[in-house]
Amino acid sequence: MIVLQNLIDAVSLGAVYALAALGIGLIFSVMRLINFAHGELIMVGGFTLYTLAGQPLLVMILAALLTSTVLALGMERVAFRTLRKASPATLLISSFAVSYLIQHIVLLAFGSRAMGVAFLPELGTAIDLGGLRIPLLQLVTIAVTLVLMAGLVAFFRLSETGLQMRAAAEDFTMARLVGVKANRVIAFAFAISGVLASIVSFYLVAQTGSVSYKMGVSMVLIAFVSSVIGGMGSIAGAALGGFLVGIVSVSLQAYLPVDLRPYRDAFVFLLFVLFLFWRPDGLLASRADRDRV
């Protein structure tokens, strides 16, 4: 029974990590940018919920989705489009700059203390399922993630734009040579990453009941680790990596000696380092990193 309980914990945490990792992995696959400012897309979604607290639920959700998406498109347009031909290192540094800039704007506007938000408190209750006490939030998280992933798979498989994004992820120059518009697929990737980020913010705010200007930082680190484990450049790999990191985290939480549990994440990162010795390219290494045209 306890095993099953842990499994559900693991899958729901893995689902959140997978959504965050997909946001990072998607952008990397089309433009070789590791977007550390992805955490701020999550954070801004959370602060939109905070600002609109008390409004109808649908208004809060739609506003947060919109804010994160617009911010994602904005950072692409202002910070990353001009640097598209720059090296991945330059792109990475500029994503740190964007990250710190947004964090400190929010710090100036809202202060440094975490602030409470009542967002979907009903999800805090647990329901009985054949002897198991399962928090509703976990079930909703798993369900939402499954729906989103099915939607993404359908988008990539069936739509013209999805096909173009897969082509661009594999060989960006060749995709442009058949007429795929570089600006359009990259903007699309950022828009999707914005939507994914705000959904992660819903989970974080519902779970912790608070927002702070640093709330995206640890999530983006986990997302980055997950997408590396999956294989940078592979969209499916990012999702897989997220689930794996979630499962490992919950297992450590459950089976580490009690006095070591507060250091769970240190063990997660230690295992990550060991993993890199074994598979430096990740599980589903992408062919896209070979030389381009």
Considering the rule CB under 8 A, would residue 265 count as an interface residue with another protein? no
Compare residues 62 and 182 and give the one whose CB is closer to another protein. Answer: 182
- Figure out which of the listed residues 180, 211, 240, 244 binds another protein, where binding follows CB under 8 A: 180
Q: Are strands 210-211 and 126-129 parallel, antiparallel or unpaired?
A: unpaired
Q: Is 154 in the site for another protein (CB under 8 A)?
A: no
Name the minimum Å distance from CB 165 to another protein.
11
Dihedral of CA atoms 159, 164, 167, 169 in degrees, nearest 10, equals: -100
| Residue in 109, 177, 266, 270 binding another protein, rule: CB under 8 A | 177
How many chain residues interact with another protein (CB under 8 A)? 19
Q: What is the CA radius of gyration of the chain?
A: 19
Integer Cα distance of 125 and 278 in angstroms: 41
Q: Which of 86, 92, 115, 182 binds another protein (CB under 8 A)?
A: 182
Closest separation between CB of residue 164 and another protein, Å? 7
Please, which residue, 163 or 217, has the CB nearer to another protein?
163
3-class secondary structure, 158: helix
Distance CA 37, CA 19 (A): 15
Give the nearest distance from C-beta 242 to another protein in angstroms: 21
Interface with another protein by CB under 8 A: which range of 45-53, 91-99, 161-169, 258-266?
Answer: 161-169
Q: Does 178 bind another protein (CB under 8 A)?
A: yes
CB atoms within 10 A of CB 281: 15
Residues 6+ away with beta carbon under 8 Å from 283: 229, 230, 231, 237, 240, 241
Name the minimum Å distance from CB 229 to another protein.
20
Check residue 174 for interaction with another protein (CB under 8 A): yes
Establish if 293 lies at the interface with another protein (CB under 8 A): yes
When asked if residue 166 is in the footprint of another protein (CB under 8 A), the reply is yes
- C-beta of 171 vs 281, nearer to another protein: 171
Gap between the Cα atoms of 162 and 219, Å rounded: 26
Q: Which span (48-56, 136-144, 158-166, 196-204) binds another protein, by CB under 8 A? A: 158-166
Phi, psi dihedrals of residue 134, rounded to the nearest 5°: -115, 125
Candidate residues 35, 94, 103, 164; the one interacting with another protein per rule CB under 8 A: 164
Closest CA to 185 of 84, 98, 63, 286: 84
- Report if residue 163 touches another protein, rule: CB under 8 A: yes
175, 205, 229, 238: residue in contact with another protein (rule CB under 8 A)? 175
CB atoms inside a 10 Å sphere around CB 109: 10
Is 188 in contact with 29 (CB distance < 8 Å)? no
Q: Please, are residues 139 and 147 in contact by the beta-carbon 8 Å criterion?
A: no
Q: Which residues pair with 133 in a beta bridge?
A: 128
Residues that bind another protein (CB under 8 A): 160, 163-164, 166-167, 170-171, 173-182, 287, 293
